Amino acid sequence: MANTTLDLDVYSSTQEPYWLASTKKPEYPTLEKDISVDVAIVGGGMVGITSAYILKNKGLKVAIIEGHRIAQGTTGHTTAKITSQHGLIYDKLITKFGEEKAKQYANANEAAIDFIANLVQEKNIDCDFSRRPAYVYTQRDEYVKKLEKEVEAASKLGLKASYEATVPLPFQVKGAIKFADQAQFHPLKYLYKLAKEIPGDGSYIFELSKVLDIEEGETCKLLTSHGHKVTASQVIIASHFPFYDGFGMYFTKIHVEKSYVLGVKIRDKFPEGMFITAEEPGRSLRSQRYKDSEIILVGGEHHKTGSEIQTNIHYENLAKFAQESFDVQEILYRWSTQDCTTVDGLPYIGHLTSKTPNLFVATGFAKWGMTNSTVAANILADLITQGESPFAPVYDPARINIMAAGPTLVSQNLDVAVKFVSGKISSAPQNLDIKRGEAQVIKVEGGKAGAYRDENDELFVVDITCTHLGCELVWNEAEKTWDCPCHGSRFNYKGENIEGPAFLNLKQIDEGPNKKDPNIF
Ligand code: FES
């Protein structure tokens, strides 16, 4: 792969997810008064919107409070596969958690596919929903046995899995697993329709309204960026990485990974199915209706957020893979996304901690967010309205005992600790000869700052200390953002926070002592 010459132009593609580029984005108001609801939901992604929709239909008053715009974060950057097939997991789940819990996970995700399918049909949602098989394939001999074991495990749990010697892709494979009756869709067309039904009768959606803190109690108070309070009996934290920890130590139990997607036009018809590799480098493929034809979504190239500066290489690697695999006409879109993964690979869905009976969390979907978000919304709605859910035990956040989590947790924490230390002791270049479109870490008054010169020759200098827990941010050349290697917060080159768990902006340090504090709203 590394030696292939890339003949395609990656960089003239639109740098935006196809989902966002192809949909009229709705706008909801900012919170401008104190309000009171039954359930406050922090975060308007797939978990937030689906939970709000279900809870409102159960007769509760709900409010989604979104810091940016609904469905434009991780939800808007997905590949939107709706599957219970999440790579090679079921054999591991049975070994690690036992057959009963593995079955809960399988059943919860199958139920999520049906939940989406039923809603699409019932509400006649025009969202390109279609049933497709999902394949995991391998091109390496040593994975064939693993695939066979996975088929055995999945079948034991009642999933419609079969072993296949070939897949309908234009290249050779050594073997594959096929899951029947999975699905794909356009996630924003689906979610915007659900969101439309939420406001009214005492329920709300607010955008550009950041929740800064939660005062816990029998009823909780959410303090927001504009100084208004939301009072609620129950709170769902659906902010991707939990912005509020409640002593749940989530910052020690989750790591954040980035991955990349290209929207590619090819000359041939793409086969019916969704595909992913069993081995590294991970490659994900599906088609999507595009005007009167289709585009292919080519995904992969994951790495820990903030671990690399030269991120454009990942788009180029995907383009080379597309070029080698298909007769590519043009690359139309490119985007990256960010996903939370837990220490044991299963999401945390349930009570934030054992001591917070009215605070709930949903996070850690490990790139399988369409079904797991839907699972989360259903579990949390059940816990709030009935106190229990048949799928809750396998997802219970309390299952992670920090002492028992073992080497994975230790290595993740060591990594974070190194980021804190190394961020403070290494020296930074002092040369301010920064070209347009480039960034540098520079020394300023004894500390470090990040400087970026835009295409109009304007220089932006920000303090690159993350406003979450103080790790040093790393430049991301592809997105022109400062990314946190510890828990994945991101800031644009002006220092504005674009992704949590941090919610405060970076300090701008280039305009003298009278500079307005960027976090005074
Ligand atoms: Fe936690 Fe940056 S996101 S320190």
Q: What is the pLDDT of residues 17-70, one digit of tens each?
A: 999 999 999 999 999 999 999 999 999 999 999 999 999 999 999 999 999 999
pLDDT, position 415: 57
Q: Which residues partner with 82 through β-bridges?
A: 183
pLDDT, position 406: 52
CA distance 24 to 81: 21
CA distance 30 to 208: 6
pLDDT bucket at 411, cuts 50 / 70 / 90? low
Residue ranges lining ligand 1, Cβ < 6 Å:
466, 468-471, 484, 486-489, 501-502
> What's the gap in Å between 171 CA and the centre of ligand 1?
42
- 341 near 54, Cβ under 8 Å? no
* DSSP element (H, E) containing 378: helix 369-386
> What's the gap in Å between 485 CA and the centre of ligand 1?
7
Determine the atom of ligand 1 nearest the C-alpha atom of 484: 2
Nearest protein Cα to ligand 1, atom 3: 487
Q: How far is CA 380 from CA 59, 250, 282, in A?
A: 15, 18, 31
- 397 near 349, Cβ under 8 Å? yes
The share of the chain scoring above pLDDT 90, in percent, equals: 82
pTM value is 0.91
Mutate to test the pocket of ligand 1, among 465, 484, 491 (most ligand atoms within 8 A of CB): 484
Determine the atom of ligand 1 nearest the C-alpha atom of 487: 3
Determine the atom of ligand 1 nearest the C-alpha atom of 488: 3
pLDDT bucket at 518, cuts 50 / 70 / 90? low
pLDDT digits (tens, 9 = 90+) for 248-290: 999 999 999 999 999 999 999 999 999 999 999 999 999 999 9
Nearest protein Cα to ligand 1, atom 4: 469
pLDDT digits (tens, 9 = 90+) for 334-380: 999 999 999 999 999 999 999 999 999 999 999 999 999 999 999 99
Question: If you average pLDDT over residues 432-459, what whole number do you get?
Answer: 86
pLDDT, position 400: 67
CA distance 460 to 445: 16
> What's the gap in Å between 233 CA and the centre of ligand 1?
29
CA distance 461 to 450: 6
pLDDT digits (tens, 9 = 90+) for 142-177: 999 999 999 999 999 999 999 999 999 999 999 999
